[in-house]
Amino acid sequence: MSSLITIDWDYFMDYMNTWNGSYIENETNIYKHWYKKYFDEKNRGIDITKHMNVGGEVDEFWAKLKKNVNFKPNTKILLTESHLNAYKIAVEQGVDSVFSFDSHSDLGYEGLDSFKFEVNCADWLGKLIYEGKINEANIIYGPYTNEYPEEFKEINKSYDINYLTLDQVKCDNPCEIVHICRSGCWSAPWLDKRFMAFVYESGFEFENIDIKERNWDPNGISLAEQIDYMLYG
- For every residue of 21-56, DSSP letters joined together read -----SHIIIIIHHHHHHHHHHTTT--GGGT--B-G
223 located within any domain: no
Angle, vertex CA 142, rays to CA 139 and CA 145, nearest 5: 100
Digit-by-digit pLDDT tens for the chain (233 residues) are: 899 999 999 999 999 998 766 677 888 889 888 998 999 899 899 999 999 999 999 999 999 999 999 999 999 999 999 999 999 999 999 999 999 999 999 999 999 998 988 999 999 999 999 999 999 999 999 999 999 999 999 999 999 999 999 999 999 999 999 999 999 999 999 999 999 999 999 999 999 999 999 999 998 888 887 777 777 65
**Residue 144: its pLDDT value, please?**
96
Amino acid letter, residue 214: R
- Chain-centroid distance of CA 224 in Å reads 32
Contact present, 98 and 58 (Cβ < 8 Å): no
| CA quadruple 115, 116, 122, 125: dihedral, nearest 10 | 30
**Residue 222: its pLDDT value, please?**
83
Domain count, the chain: 1
185 located within any domain: yes
43 located within any domain: no
| Spatial separation of the C-alpha atoms in residues 188 and 190, rounded to whole Å | 6
The SS3 call for residue 8 is strand
40 located within any domain: no
| Spatial separation of the C-alpha atoms in residues 177 and 5, rounded to whole Å | 8
Q: 0.85 exceeded by the pTM?
A: yes
> Residue 22 is part of which domain span?
3-30+48-215
193 located within any domain: yes
**Residue 9: its pLDDT value, please?**
98
